[in-house]
Amino acid sequence: MKKFILIAVVLAAAVGFFYGEGAVKKPELLNVSYDPTRELYQDYNEAFKKHWKETTGEEIRILQSHGGSGKQARSVIDGLEADVVSLALAYDIDAIAEKSGLLPATWQERLPHQSAPFSSTIVFLVRKGNPSNIHDWDDLARPGIRVITPNPKTSGGARWNYLAAWAYALKKWNNDEVRAKEFVKAVYQNAPVLDTGARGSTVTFVERRIGDVLISWENEAYLVAATIGKDQCEIITPSLSILAEPPVAVIDKNADRHGTRAAAEEYLKYLYSPEGQKIAARHYYRPSSREIADKHAGQFSRVELITVRDVFGGWKTAQKTHFAEGGTFDQISRTQL
Amino acid sequence: MKTRAESPAVVYTLLALGLSYFAVFMLLPLVVIFVSAFKNGVGPYVAALLNPDARSAIWLTLLVSAVAVPLNLVFGVAASWAITKFDFWGKNLLITLIDLPVSVSPVISGMVFVLLFGAQGLIGPWLAEHHLKLIFAVPGIILATMFVTFPYVAREVIPVMKAQGSDEEEAALTLGASGWQTFWRITLPKIKWGLLYGVILCNARAMGEFGAVSVVSGHIRGRTNTLPLHVEILYNEYDFVGAFAAASVLAFLALVTLVIKTVIESRSPELQSNRLKKH
């Protein structure tokens, strides 16, 4: 038995050695991001590594972490040492600033377009041939339609979905909040599962084939329609949707501690460069650069877009009214039970 | 007394039931894993495992169990020893607490570590001041794994120790053996099969743990992703071959564990006779 313990210890040491050796020491950036940006940042990180090498001569390694936006923000607050975050909505980065003080509350003013290098919106993904005959938000509230959307408590995309449905109802019933709440409740009563992140919902809809309609990020819907859902899904653009601006920010205190501030800032700035914008467009995000956006105009359908600021008075208010403890989402879920 | 033979119909029905249950719940999932992993042939399978992120996940999983299992072996034996050989105040409480990780959901176990060692946690700020990183880093993953797998050794060893009593140890001590001598020469040989079984269970759980590790990992690819987390990531990236390739490694490790267990059992007449006596 002595021998056995000895072997185990030696083994542990050996494994530790190899593991340690595998991690080559070069400057590193950790980008903590939300769920559907996996493919985008895979491409972008390669481009940025090249750019960084060309401009500074330095090698850089970029680490990625993905998950529901709210959950990721929580992890950064709890000590996940992100150098930069790229989350689904401004409120989640506000929460990091407020609860951890790792970056200033004014972070959103540091980069153009409210720190959102690209935007997206919310669309529907339905089965090929649209068998459930879904054309607009009204159809999602129809009895018997199964709607797939993630949980607004943990997912950023889900909050955009929720607000888009709410905004549509407000417009339809002339800002009648009571009717809007009833409408959104009817939509969520049609939801058989609430995944924690947007990607989970996509897998539920496409791979597990549950549901008649997926409320989804536009970029995610296009990605699915172009790849794994090619012959089984199609995109429906509703009459009204929401301008979704997923923002980015350097987490100052982490970057300073790691000595990576210059790289972290350049990493985000490069997102606004023609190269960065092209990569975003290629992954079906709407570029903020007018020039690149015009080039890709044909790839997105035209839709009336409302903003969180105009309809909901900004993310802080929207979060408080709808998603905080006791907000409208809690109210409609509770009466459901 | 005359023993009554069961009618063949009953025997075959039971057999068929047992076998089909086994086929559906054990064999089929295993087959699905390997079939899906090799769906596009051997090339993509190998490529999925040679991928740097996959390699790092495999290493991390091995590292975590290589640290957590020996430590739990030592702690588990110490706890069982204390519980079965001595009487002390709070013993029942200790016995209950040992079982806690089994009864608590792994997600809660992970959360506890975040609440303790996270940046906003009780000890977190102090750790940060001293540049110690536990949560969202490898030490946190090891801690969470140790917590979840702690009971496995103790739970196997305590009953064995209890059943055997401490007469022989007492005899050894009266004859002048030291505490260590008694432990190495008397106790350890008596408990070794139970211990080994506990270690095997502990190891299997350590390599497969998902919930607790998921909470404390931070999901940084190539850094804090264990194999089970890597499987989830690939699955969510629509990389089903990659996901199942990684899953097949886990399944393979589990099968190896089983084979080791069987070999050990067959090599030890003592254990076999024990088993027979038990049944």
Which residue in A15, A78, A228 is closest to B118 by CB distance? A78
Which range marks the domain in which residue B92 is found? 42-278
Q: How far is A184 from chain B (nearest CA, A)?
A: 28
Q: Is residue B79 part of a domain?
A: yes
Which amino acid, one-letter code, is at A269?
K
Q: How far is A329 from chain B (nearest CA, A)?
A: 24
Q: How far is A5 from chain B (nearest CA, A)?
A: 7
Mutate to test the interface with A, among B39, B51, B63, B241 (most CBs of A within 10 A): B63
Taking an 8 Å cut-off on Cβ atoms, the answer to whether B237 and A200 are in contact is: no
Task: Please give the CATH number for the structural domain made up of A122-242+307-336.
Answer: 3.40.190.10
Q: For residue A18, name the pLDDT band (cuts at 50, 70, 90).
A: very low
Per-residue pLDDT reduced to its tens digit, A129-185:
999 999 999 999 999 999 999 999 888 899 999 999 999 999 999 999 999 999 999
Q: For residue A227, name the pLDDT band (cuts at 50, 70, 90).
A: confident
A200 touches chain B (CB under 8 A): yes
Q: Is residue B60 part of a domain?
A: yes
Which residue in B118, B188, B233 is closest to A79 by CB distance? B118
Q: How far is B219 from chain A (nearest CA, A)?
A: 5
Q: Is the pLDDT of residue B169 over 90?
A: no
pLDDT more than 70, % of chain A: 92
State the alpha helices, DSSP H only, in B104-174.
Answer: 106-117, 124-129, 138-164, 167-174
CA atoms within 13 A on the CB side of B4: 3
Q: How far is A285 from chain B (nearest CA, A)?
A: 18
Tell me which chain A residues have a C-beta less than 8 angstroms from the C-beta of B237.
38-39, 199
Which residue in B119, B195, B238 is closest to A227 by CB distance? B238
Mean pLDDT of the region A26-31: 91
Q: Is the pLDDT of residue B7 over 70?
A: yes
Q: Which CATH architecture has domain A25-118+245-299?
A: 3-Layer(aba) Sandwich (3.40)
Q: Is residue B204 part of a domain?
A: yes
Q: How far apart are CA A279 and CA A274, in angstroms?
A: 9
Per-residue pLDDT reduced to its tens digit, A193-218:
899 888 899 999 998 899 999 999 99
Which residue in B73, B192, B220 is closest to A30 by CB distance? B220
- State the first-to-last Cα distance of chain A, in angstroms, to the nearest integer: 56
B136 touches chain A (CB under 8 A): yes
Taking an 8 Å cut-off on Cβ atoms, the answer to whether B219 and A66 are in contact is: yes
Q: How far apart are CA A25 and CA A199, in angstroms?
A: 32
Q: Where are the beta strands (DSSP E) in chain A?
A: 28-33, 61-66, 84-86, 118-119, 122-127, 147-148, 213-217, 233-236, 240-242, 248-250, 286-287, 304-306
Q: Is the pLDDT of residue B121 over 50?
A: yes
Mutate to test the interface with B, among A34, A75, A228, A283 (most CBs of B within 10 A): A75
Q: How far is B189 from chain A (nearest CA, A)?
A: 9
Q: Give the pLDDT of residue A20.
A: 46
- Whole-number CA gyration radius for chain B: 23
Q: How far apart are CA A120 and CA A123, in angstroms?
A: 10
Taking an 8 Å cut-off on Cβ atoms, the answer to whether A81 and B136 are in contact is: yes
Mean pLDDT of the region A111-139: 95
Q: What is the dihedral of CA B85, B89, B93, B98, to 10 degrees?
A: -40
Mutate to test the interface with A, among B199, B236, B237, B239 (most CBs of A within 10 A): B236
Q: Is residue B94 part of a domain?
A: yes
Q: What is the dihedral of CA A148, A150, A151, A155, to 10 degrees?
A: -160
Q: For residue A22, name the pLDDT band (cuts at 50, 70, 90).
A: very low
Q: Where are the domains of chain A?
A: 25-118+245-299, 122-242+307-336
B218 touches chain A (CB under 8 A): yes
Q: Is the pLDDT of residue B199 over 70?
A: yes
Q: Is the pLDDT of residue A17 over 70?
A: no
Q: Find out whether A165 and A137 touch, Cβ atoms under 8 Å.
A: yes
Taking an 8 Å cut-off on Cβ atoms, the answer to whether A5 and B70 are in contact is: yes
Nearest chain A alpha carbon to B116 = A78
B213 touches chain A (CB under 8 A): no
Tell me which chain A residues have a C-beta less than 8 angstroms from the C-beta of B225.
none
| Mean pLDDT over the full length of chain A | 90
pLDDT more than 70, % of chain B: 94
CA-nearest of A188, A208, A161, A191 to A308 is: A161
B44 touches chain A (CB under 8 A): no
Nearest chain B alpha carbon to A4 = B70
Q: For residue B90, name the pLDDT band (cuts at 50, 70, 90).
A: confident
Q: Give the pLDDT of residue A161.
A: 96
Q: For residue A273, name the pLDDT band (cuts at 50, 70, 90).
A: very high
A178 touches chain B (CB under 8 A): no
Q: Is the pLDDT of residue B38 over 70?
A: yes
The size of the A-B interface in CB pairs under 8 A is 92
Q: How far apart are CA A258 and CA A244, in angstroms?
A: 31
Q: Give the pLDDT of residue A23.
A: 46
Decide whether A25-118+245-299 matches A122-242+307-336 in CATH topology: yes
State the alpha helices, DSSP H only, in A82-211.
Answer: 90-100, 112-115, 137-140, 156-172, 177-189, 198-206
| pTM for the predicted model, two decimal places | 0.84
Q: Give the pLDDT of residue A207.
A: 86
Q: How far is B114 from chain A (nearest CA, A)?
A: 7
Number of domains in chain B: 1
A47 touches chain B (CB under 8 A): no
Which residue in A9, A18, A79 is closest to B124 by CB distance? A79
Mean pLDDT of the region A186-195: 93
Per-residue pLDDT reduced to its tens digit, B225-270:
999 999 999 988 888 899 999 999 999 988 888 888 788 777 765 5
Tell me which chain A residues have a C-beta less than 8 angstroms from the C-beta of B56.
19, 22-23
Tell me which chain A residues have a C-beta less than 8 angstroms from the C-beta of B222.
63
Q: ipTM for the complex?
A: 0.81
CATH number at residue B55: 1.10.3720.10
Q: Is the pLDDT of residue A274 over 50?
A: yes
